Amino acid sequence: MALCRFHFLKTPHPSAVNISRLPRFASSFSRSLSTWRRSSTSRRLCTLRSDQPLQVSSIGDCSSFSIVDGLLDYLNESWTQFHATAEAKRQLIAAGFQLLNECDDWNLQPGGRYFFTRNMSCLIAFAVGEKYSTGNGFHVVAAHTDSPCLKLKPRTSSSKSGYLMVNVQTYGAGLWHTWFDRDLSVAGRVILKSCDGSFIHKLVKVKRPILRVPTLAIHLDRSVNTDGFKPNLESHLVPVLAMKFMEKCIDRSATSCSSKSAHDPLLLKILSEELGCTKNEIVGIELNVCDTQPSCLGGGKNEFIFSGRLDNLASSYCALRSLVDSCQSPSDLADETSIRMVALFDNEEVGSNSLQGAGAPTMFQAMKRIVGCLASDYLGACAFERTIRSSFLVSADMAHGVHPNFLDKYEESHRPELQKGLVIKYNSNQRYATSAVTAFLFKELAEINKIPVQEFVVRNDMGCGSTIGPILASGVGIRTVDCGIPQLSMHSVREICGKDDVDIAYRHFMAFFRAFSSIDKKLSVDF
């Protein structure tokens, strides 16, 4: 059980104080810190916003409220899927949600708000309506915490021609040429061995740039601009850590044999200094290579968000924030007959087939367990099946906004624009889980609440990506709609989306949590 202990590190941004020492406010997350955070122009390029708490008496009240500052803070905190989950955990606890352990018995009550994490990279949070009864459904927004990146190999130590290198492997389908000539660092988790022989799980983030993948000079590759940049991902995508002659400055005698053979002492020294431990205490690492440039607003009118990992942390944050803000006070759940849920999964970018991915039965096991805990009398054999039939899932994953320089890559009648709202995704080959029924219900929410919405299908002569939507929809047969915030540069080290679309997505998810029950009962399909 020692490995289950979690110690979250909050190290200061180079241009900021340690935010872990500042007060947290449950109802507005980090909005109270927005003025302080915007004092650094390297972190934020925008005007000040109101610091008043969100009034949630009706859906329309959200139209002038913005969560963009909170998203930027979340992105800058969440360099890895582990940090994204840990920050979501912190915000949920601050908002009054109760942390559950999958290994313990659960005592759930109507009106209660709960969550649990798995592998510190997957999170399930839910709020139980006061009027919930057995057989009523779950209303779920699901997203994922991972993004394409470079990950350190189990044995990272390497040297070539006087350089200390770090061996990496590609994770997901990234635009790997965008990782060249960037100021990079590492973040993730480590396992430390304590003096008493127990083990501690910690997160780590080295905020200063320590790595670089340099491109070859054009003088040595004259055809790169005509033939294209085609790096070999095994031999050309290896970051430089330092010059090898610097290793004489590192005390190798204090490094354990196993760590010494797997990782260069300089890398272990950097990690140990960040963690406040000795190199010998580090017995396991799982690290991502991360771009150190902060997320920020950009564009002539500050209308864009420039950031890494928008796919899919933008969706994750909108889902998380809408759940919390839709049940800030007990009255928010007083008339709710269903259960509101957010599910954030890991490993979507590589197929979701993992313990912490959407391919695992995590969410459905939790649903079944929740139904059983809340049953006031004998639980019939088909109670869970009835619940699933009444449930609805919004699969939220970033969408392709139309690129002005590549219009021919888009189906001419389905070209989503930035700043025009969420995009509902369709695919007749079931790469997306949207059906006419689920699309109608989701669009009806938008129409009633005057929220813009768009539609997307891929060209017939092009392949189509997929999401966790079909995986979850086919898992137990839950009604699902696939949607996403439109963006450009998807899977680049640096992506772009519209600032207004973040707030529109938030409003749409808020409407889903608050009003879907009343809309759903008006449509009959199978009876």
Work out the average pLDDT over 274-278: 96
Q: What is the pLDDT of residues 329-371, one digit of tens each?
A: 989 999 999 999 999 999 999 999 999 999 999 999 999 999 9
Q: Is the pLDDT of residue 277 over 80?
A: yes
CB 350 within 8 Å of CB 342? no
**Residue range(s) in the chain whose domain bears CATH number 3.40.630.10:** 67-147+308-521
Q: Is the pLDDT of residue 31 over 70?
A: no
What pLDDT does residue 247 have?
54
Average pLDDT, the chain: 88
- Where residue 12 falls among pLDDT bands split at 50, 70, 90? very low
Q: What is the pLDDT of residues 166-221, one digit of tens each?
A: 999 999 999 999 999 999 999 999 999 998 999 999 999 999 999 999 999 999 99
Task: Name the fold adopted by 149-218+229-244+261-293.
Answer: Aminopeptidase i, Domain 2 (2.30.250)
Q: Tokens 């340690």 belong to which residue?
A: 18
Q: Counting runs of H as helices and runs of E as strands, what totals does the chain give? A: 12, 21
Work out the average pLDDT over 31-53: 37
Work out the average pLDDT over 456-461: 96
Q: Is the pLDDT of residue 53 over 60?
A: no
- Where residue 404 falls among pLDDT bands split at 50, 70, 90? very high
374 SS3 class: helix
Q: Which of 75, 86, 140, 80 has the alpha carbon at shortest distance from 117?
A: 86
Work out the average pLDDT over 39-60: 38
Give the torsion sign (CA, 212, 217, 221, 222).
positive
Q: Is the pLDDT of residue 57 over 70?
A: no
- Domain 67-147+308-521 architecture: 3-Layer(aba) Sandwich (3.40)
What pLDDT does residue 261 have?
73
Q: Is the pLDDT of residue 281 over 80?
A: yes
Give per-residue burial for 171-199: e unless 16+ CB within 10 Å, then b: bbebebbbbbebebbbbbbbbbbeeeeee
Q: Which of 96, 105, 146 has the alpha carbon at shortest distance from 123?
A: 146
What pLDDT does residue 381 have?
65
For residue 25, give Cα distances in angstroms to 16, 33, 202: 19, 9, 24
What the block records as the tokens of 357 is 């991915």
Lowest mean pLDDT among 24-38, 130-144, 278-292, 379-393: 24-38
What pLDDT does residue 250 have?
53
pTM, entire model: 0.87
Q: Which of 73, 70, 85 has the alpha carbon at shortest distance from 144?
A: 85
Q: What percent of the chain has pLDDT over 70?
A: 84
What pLDDT does residue 377 have?
67
The answer for residues whose C-beta is within 8 angstroms of residue 312's C-beta and 6 or more apart is 143, 144, 145, 146, 147, 348, 396, 397, 398
CB 122 within 8 Å of CB 362? yes
